């Protein structure tokens, strides 16, 4: 994805500094070739290797019409968690038959939009949602395909803010017998609900499979218990996502197959030993598909040297276009695009321009001696940068550009000041 020519960093075959000049900064840049390579890896390690499977892109990572259309062409599904993500899919003419709706607090407006569009399935997060969805279906003389997201009560080796499988998580249905099994019985008996099976998501940015395997054991017992208690065979199982990527040299992500193969092997072994048909299996990768495919470009502004303390290098963006460092201490690597192979002889902190002391994008970064109007490239920002962008301090949402080989095109234009205040009365 990256190369250096005449001291300049290239993304695919396009000079990063030229992109900054053409579209302005801050700027989100994605490599379509890298995105497609990640999709191909999922096909090779999961979809083509194991029959009766599908992969749904977790839209929360990066939801644009371009991304929806690319995924549609590649045969992937979408996992949406809001009316806005669903609306983006609808406006992209993404087929309803390949959309699933996740999330812990779906509103009436969102559920009705999804039912009217005819999406494939709902991942129900709590008992009240099931009964509410059931009534909406009865009112419309329709039926909804449903999976239950369960809380497997396992802890993932990741930041607490992105660990989602613990017993006290805000997500999922508890495993308590007096909560879960009456809900399963109700779904099986319902005229408006088609109960498919179970779903879990144990956390994000995971570099080992043990947490998934522990959660899988919970699912396997639920499959067996559902069969024994209700004489009902579940048809679907969703193993979530959370596969880690490389942000810095400290990250050592494992191959996707190292996640998938042990899970599928254990699932098939269990089903065979108990005479149960192996359910359809799905996953929801988001960051894995787009994280390393994206970079952000910034223009360096003021440089503040505090003798014997540190040097702050300020950029023309910050926590408004990448809130993750301030939100949960996310770490990134970066370089100066127009000095890509210069000696890294200066230790700096990269400072955003927001009026917050926590707006520090990278601490302790070694770069060539920085100068005013140098172009800083931050790597692996493809997930949750644009998705979490905000207008704090009335800063504009940056543009998004796609690079493919030696071509580049705008897919989201930079927000104007007028657009920023157009809803204000």
β 280-283/53-58 pair status:
parallel
Among 59, 68, 335, 355, which one carries the catalytic annotation? Answer: 355
Q: Answer for the pair 386, 62: CB distance below 8 angstroms, yes or no.
A: yes
Spell out the alpha helix ranges (H) of 248-347: 256-273, 287-290, 324-328
At 319, list the tokens: 């926590």
At 314, list the tokens: 């300020």
- Catalytic site residue 355? yes
Residue 303 CB contacts under 8 Å (≥ 6 apart), including other chains = 311, 312, 313, 314, 370, 371, 372
Q: Helix, strand, or coil here: 249?
A: coil
Cα separation, 217 vs 89, whole angstroms: 34
Q: Answer for the pair 196, 233: CB distance below 8 angstroms, yes or no.
A: no
Please state, as a whole number, how many other Cβ atoms lie within 10 Å of the Cβ of residue 252. Answer: 9
What value, to the nearest 5°, has the Cα angle with vertex 252 and ends 246 and 253? 65
Residue 407: enclosing H or E segment and its boundaries?
Answer: strand 407-412
Active-site annotation, residues: 355
């Amino acid at each position: 994805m990256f190369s250096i020519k005449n001291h300049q960093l290239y993304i695919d075959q396009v000079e990063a500094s030229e992109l900054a000049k053409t579209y302005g900064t801050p700027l989100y840049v994605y490599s379509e070739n890298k995105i497609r390579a990640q999709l191909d890896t999922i096909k090779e390690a999961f979809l083509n290797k194991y029959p009766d499977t599908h992969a749904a892109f977790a839209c929360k990572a990066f939801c644009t019409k371009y991304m929806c259309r690319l995924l549609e062409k590649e045969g992937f599904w979408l996992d949406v968690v809001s009316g806005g993500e669903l609306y983006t899919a609808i406006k992209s003419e993404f087929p309803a038959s390949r959309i699933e709706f996740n999330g812990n607090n779906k509103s009436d407006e969102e559920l009705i939009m999804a039912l009217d569009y005819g999406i494939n399935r709902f991942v129900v997060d709590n008992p009240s949602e099931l009964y509410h969805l059931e009534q909406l279906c009865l009112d419309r003389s329709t039926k909804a395909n449903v999976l239950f997201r369960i809380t497997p009560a396992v802890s993932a080796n990741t930041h607490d803010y992105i660990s989602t499988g613990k017993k006290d998580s805000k997500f999922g249905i508890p495993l308590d017998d007096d909560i879960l099994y009456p809900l399963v019985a109700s779904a099986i008996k319902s005229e408006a609900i088609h109960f498919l099976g179970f779903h879990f998501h144990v956390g994000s940015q995971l570099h080992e499979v043990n947490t998934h395997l522990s959660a899988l054991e919970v699912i396997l017992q639920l499959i067996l218990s559902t069969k024994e208690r209700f004489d009902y065979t579940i048809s679907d199982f969703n193993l979530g996502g959370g596969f880690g990527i490389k942000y810095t040299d400290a990250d050592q992500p494992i191959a996707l197959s190292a996640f998938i193969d042990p899970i599928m092997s254990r699932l098939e072994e269990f089903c065979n030993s108990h005479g149960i048909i192996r359910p359809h299996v799905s996953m929801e990768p988001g960051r894995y598909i787009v994280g390393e495919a994206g970079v952000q470009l910034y223009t360096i502004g003021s440089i503040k040297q505090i003798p014997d303390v540190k040097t702050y290098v300020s950029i023309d963006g910050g926590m408004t276009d990448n809130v993750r460092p301030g939100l949960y201490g996310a770490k990134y690597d970066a370089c100066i695009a127009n000095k890509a192979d210069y000696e890294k002889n200066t230790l700096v902190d990269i400072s955003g321009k927001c009026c917050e002391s926590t707006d520090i994008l990278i601490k302790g970064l070694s770069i060539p001696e920085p100068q005013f109007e140098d172009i800083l490239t931050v790597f692996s920002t493809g997930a949750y940068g644009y998705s979490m962008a905000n207008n704090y301090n009335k800063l504009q949402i940056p543009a998004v550009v796609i690079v493919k080989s030696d071509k580049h095109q705008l897919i989201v234009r930079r927000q104007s000041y007028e657009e920023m205040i157009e809803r204000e009365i």
